[in-house]
Homo-oligomer: A and B are copies of this chain.
Amino acid sequence: MTIIIRGDIVFTPRPDRFTVLEDGCVAVGDDGRVTQVAGSPSDIRLRGTRASGDRIVPTDDAAPRSTVDSGEPEPRVIDRRGCLVIPSFVDLHVHAPQYPMAGVGLDEQLLRWLENTTFPVESHFADPQVAGTWYRRFLHRIWRVGTLRFSAFATLHEESTLMLMGLCQESGLRPVVGKVNMDRNAPEELLESTRDSLESTRRIIGKSRAATPDIGYVVTPRFVPSTTPELMEGLGEIVREFGLPVQSHLDENRSEVEWVRRLHPDVPTYAQVYDRFGLMPEGRTIMAHCIWMTQTERRLLRERGVWAAHCPQSNLNLASGLMPVRRDLDAGIKVCVASDVAAGHDPSMPRQIVSAIETSKAKTFETGHENDRPLALSEAFYMATKRPGEFFGAIGRGRVGTFEPGCDFDALVIREEDGNPLDLPPEGKLARFIYDGDDRDILERWIAGRTVPEPFA
């Protein structure tokens, strides 16, 4: 049976403007996919009915009924008038075990912050008790803020990675997750042998397919400095063998880029190191940061169809630099906005959208408004919904992030403020939510046509 969600519908089929249906409708089929978006319930066509006689007339309480007997059951109208209905957020770069350290140690830059704060936290995830407590808190928070799909780094620990995947399955959220691989340049308690790393990865892939079918696996070398060529080679084989996606870090910090250069003097650029080892599979790779890319790397990312996860809050916190987002977009790179929790301290994608806009404005102070036109709100929203949502479509887990027909209905229902003197249109109300709302304004969360109840409350 079709359901029809009625409210103020706002989404971004394209980045340059919002598509708005004030008191509009989204129709969703049995399979949880959007079938149609329309101005009113009466404009929704029922499957299998005649084109001329398939209108639905809403009754006073907004429950529509067919005017002809088409043999179809009547659709159920979910009346959310006075609310915004928007695509839920998609975050393609987040470190689940770093959630307990959000805000800590940010007077330092990347490499010292990894050593002094990140590695000590992640080593605690060897303990299943810590992992259980904090992965539950993380998932509860990410549900609260309306990020219903994401791509997460776990730690290198097999048991706690499987636990995270199990908790994701239990929560109803639909992320991809990867065990971190690292066999060099980390403290002893966070190192594994190349062989252990590869075997453990294969075990997790095997076990999780059966145990957590709704949670995808994503191959996750931490970054070039912490993975030997042998490990990258082996991971490249796993990627090919299972057709899996890859996530990692690229060109975040200038000292890091220099380090990679020293580690791989025979490879011209950082990105080409991943590519050489088969870790940039076409149309299913996420690379975080991408601040210091060369033109060669830009070309490579475009050719491979890589999602470049722009993490503006993280980049400021660790003083990594300002990604030249406008130039990367103009170069045809699939830039999306991501949180990078916990170098980004706030899991809320609205806060990351704002940070992306703000840093794009800061970029113009260096280079001029004409060269690096700042992101408009609709663009940054697109980069946190439809653009990263395509990743899930590409790996066969449902295209999300927009209400175009065929997409999974992943959505948030958001309370609208009353009595604003500006009498704002829906996109203005959305701007108010993005800039100054919070999780208390989100009334419902939908994944693939079903509401997701609060997990681990």
Chain A residues proximal to chain B, CB less than 8 Å: 100-104, 106-107, 117, 120-121, 124, 130, 133-134, 313, 316-317, 319, 321-322, 345-346, 354, 357-359, 361-362, 364-366, 369, 374, 376-377, 419-422, 424, 428, 431-436, 438
Set B101, B107, B130, B431: member contacting A103, Cβ < 8 A: B431
Q: Is the CB of B428 within 8 A of A377?
A: no
Q: B362 near A359 (CB under 8 angstroms)?
A: yes
List 5 A-B residue pairs with CB atoms under 8 Å apart, sorted by A's residue number: A117-B422, A120-B422, A133-B419, A317-B361, A345-B435
- Residues from chain B with a CB closer than 8 A to the CB of A435 are 102-103, 106, 345-346
Known contacts A133-B419, A419-B133, A421-B134; A365 and B321 CB within 8 A of each other: yes
Q: How far is the CA of A124 from the CA of B420 in the complex (A)?
A: 10
Q: Which of A103, A313, A365 has the most CB of B within 10 A?
A: A103
Q: What residue in chain B is nearest A428 (Cβ atoms)? A: B104
Residues of B contacting A322 with CB < 8 Å?
362, 365
Given contacts A106-B357, A362-B359, contact A422 B319 (CB under 8 A): no
Tally of this chain's copies: 2
With the chains together, A431 CA to B117 CA distance in Å? Answer: 13
Evaluate contact between B124 and A316: CB separation under 8 angstroms. no
Overall SS of chain A's interface: helix
Distance A77 CA – B424 CA, assembled complex (angstroms): 50
Beyond contacts A103-B434, A134-B421, A322-B365: 15 other A-B pairs, Cβ-Cβ < 8 A, are A101-B422, A104-B424, A104-B428, A106-B357, A106-B377, A106-B431, A107-B374, A107-B376, A124-B421, A317-B361, A319-B374, A321-B365, A322-B362, A345-B354, A345-B435
Q: A187 to chain B: closest CB distance in Å?
A: 15
- Measured between beta carbons, the chain B residues less than 8 angstroms from A366 are 365-366
- What B residues does A422 contact at CB under 8 A? 100-101, 104, 117, 120-121
Instruction: Point out the residues of chain B lying under 8 angstroms from A124, CB to CB.
Output: 421
Q: Closest CB-CB distance, A10 to chain B, in whole Å?
A: 14
Closest to A427 in B: B104
CB distance from A266 to the nearest CB of B (A): 31
Which chain B residue has the least Cβ–Cβ distance from A134?
A: B421
Q: Is the CB of B319 within 8 A of A361?
A: yes
How far, in angstroms, from A421 to B131 measured CA to CA in the complex? 10
* Interfacial chain B residues near A101, Cβ < 8 Å: 422
State whether A358 touches B316 (Cβ < 8 A): yes
Q: A354-B345, A362-B359 are in contact. Are A436 and B102 (CB under 8 A)?
A: yes
A104 to chain B: which residues have CB within 8 Å?
422, 424, 428, 431-432
A110 to chain B, nearest CB (A): 12
CB distance from A155 to the nearest CB of B (A): 12
Which B residue's beta carbon lies closest to that of A431?
Answer: B103
| CB closest residue in chain B, given A312 | B358
A262 CB to nearest chain B CB (Å): 22
- Which chain B residues lie closer than 8 Å to A117 at the CB level? 422
Residues in B with CB closer than 8 Å to A133 are 419
Contacts of A354 in B (CB 8 A): 345
Give, as a whole number of angstroms, the nearest-CB distance from A454 to chain B. 15
